[in-house]
Amino acid sequence: MTDAPKHEALFQPLKMGALEARNRIFMAPLTRGRAADPMFVPNSMMETYYRQRSGAGMILTEATGISTEGLGWPSAPGIWSDEQTESWKPIVDAVHEEGGLISMQLWHMGRIVHPYFLDGKPPFSASETKAPGEAHTPEGKKEFVTARAMTHDDIKRTVDDYRRAAENAKKAGFDSVQLHGANGYLVDQFLRDGTNHRDDEYGGSPENRTRFMREALEAIVDVWGADRVGIRLSPNGDSQGTDDSNPPATFGAAAKVIEEMGLAYLELRQPGPDGTFGRTDVPKQDALIRELYSGALILNSDYTAQEADDDVSSGRCDAVSFGRPYISNPDLEKRIAAGAEFNPNKDVPKSWYFPTPEGYIDYLTLEEEKAAANAA
């Protein structure tokens, strides 16, 4: 007879639309930069990485580019080509072989793409704006440039790119797709009035600023059905220079769209005091969104196991997605069940993005740690 797991609320199954998660400890999207040689194409090292972490209730993949003009991160994977689609299949199969559930996060970076990736051309965004800071490129960091405002043709083409990416994700065998609407990337650039200065039907009121998000979601839902589609939002404070003067109005309008469309799940990026995105002086919006959206709500960022269990137990959310802890703890859910200590990340942040197996697939599981200790 085995002991009951610690933090029992996290080990209850969860139904999200057509999806059935075996626990409520999800793996958050984590950019890892291992799709190297050729750039943007998944590989066998990624297969090992995702297989190792397949005990999560659901894996949300690293942000995955929907087009060449939407991806500006060295060695991040894409899903716009046949080669990329075929290369994702063994990764998905590996997770399924372990009984896991995996959702692809669909990503367009908007103004965060550096011209290095665009043959010297400027990126585009909701409006003519410039992100603060510098972009990561294979030639080192380079200052962001001013993006051009998207035309209606640009918007239509990009929505079509979301549709094609969703179709490719389905061909690759994923269980679900998640629209990346957070962290200052393209959808977020449309949502927030700090970066959306348009005076047409895509700008102005909060409802108008949700239009691009809605159109992207409609294209994805047309491929998948709403019961296998989710979205990620980051409604609290500045993200890469993308901010809003009235987050409750903006993200309340977004939540109403998501509820109306009947999406299976909504993940909110809500950093704590030591988080890497966002301000701590901005009130969290999850309570407002919980009132407006009746589907599965997933909260993310800077959680301990106890805090996650408390929020699921209280009904504040239905699941918690862990990010950085899953980097160094491939069996995070087993450690939580056993009440064990987490491995610390090593060589941070180099190991997060440097395209080698070290700091990626070489972390020991709890069982391996115990075996090594017993052999010593």
Tens of pLDDT, residue by residue over 252-263, are: 999 999 999 999
pLDDT of res. 270? 78
Using alpha carbons, select from 248, 335, 247, 324 the residue that is nearest to residue 291.
Answer: 248
108 pLDDT above the threshold of 50: yes
pLDDT of res. 283? 65
Q: For 170-194, what is the mean pLDDT?
A: 98
pLDDT of res. 129? 98
Q: Work out the angle between the directed axes of helices 211-224 and 152-172 (0-180°, nearest 10).
A: 30
pLDDT of res. 8? 95
279 pLDDT above the threshold of 50: no
As a whole number of angstroms, the distance between CA 363 and CA 348 comes to 14
pLDDT of res. 284? 77
Respond yes or no on whether the N-terminal peptide bond of residue 330 is cis (omega within 30° of 0). Answer: no
Q: For 47-72, what is the mean pLDDT?
A: 98
More confident residue, 5 or 295: 295
6 pLDDT above the threshold of 90: no
- Please give the structure tokens belonging to residue 58: 């659901």
Write out pLDDT tens, residues 111-161.
999 999 999 999 999 999 999 999 999 999 999 999 999 999 999 999 999
Determine whether 185 is an active site residue: yes
φ, ψ of residue 170 to 5 degrees: the values are -70, -40
Using alpha carbons, select from 181, 154, 358 the residue that is nearest to residue 255.
Answer: 181
As a whole number of angstroms, the distance between CA 182 and CA 1 comes to 44
Average pLDDT, the chain: 94
More confident residue, 364 or 272: 364
361 phi-psi bin (left φ>0, alpha ψ -120 to 50, beta other): alpha
Q: For 344-358, what is the mean pLDDT?
A: 82
pLDDT of res. 272? 60
20 pLDDT above the threshold of 60: yes
Write out pLDDT tens, residues 204-238.
999 999 999 999 999 999 999 999 999 999 998 89
Number of Cβ within 10 Å of residue 97's Cβ equals: 11
Q: For 22-48, what is the mean pLDDT?
A: 96
How many residues would you count in the chain? Answer: 376
pLDDT of res. 199? 98
Burial of 176 (0-12, 13-18, 19+ CB in 10 A): buried
Q: Strand pairing of 134-137 and 140-143?
A: antiparallel
Task: Kindly state the percentage of the chain with pLDDT values over 70.
Answer: 95
Q: Work out the angle between the directed axes of helices 211-224 and 247-261 (0-180°, nearest 10).
A: 20
Three-class DSSP labels, the chain: CCCCCCCHHHHCCEEECCEEECCCEEECCCCCCCCCCCCCCCCHHHHHHHHHCCCCCCEEEEEEECCHHHCCCCCCCECCCHHHHHHHHHHHHHHHHCCCCEEEEEECCHHHCCHHHHCCCCCEECCCCCCCCEEEECCEEEECCCCEECCHHHHHHHHHHHHHHHHHHHHHCCCEEEEECCCCCHHHHHHCCCCCCCCCCCCCCHHHHCHHHHHHHHHHHHHHCHHHEEEEECCCCCECCECCCCHHHHHHHHHHHHHHHCCCEEEEECCCCCCCCCCCCCCCCHHHHHHHCCCEEEEECCCCHHHHHHHHHHCCCCEEEECHHHHHCCCHHHHHHHCCCCCCCCCCCHHHHCCCCCCCCCCCCHHHHHHHHHHC
Instruction: Indicate the range of 17-26, 240-249, 264-273 predicted with least confidence.
Output: 264-273
pLDDT of res. 16? 98
As a whole number of angstroms, the distance between CA 364 and CA 98 comes to 18
As a whole number of angstroms, the distance between CA 91 and CA 32 comes to 15
Q: Which of 49, 50, 185, 303 is catalytic?
A: 185
Encoded amino acid at 225, one letter: G
61 pLDDT above the threshold of 80: yes
pLDDT of res. 280? 45
More confident residue, 373 or 360: 360
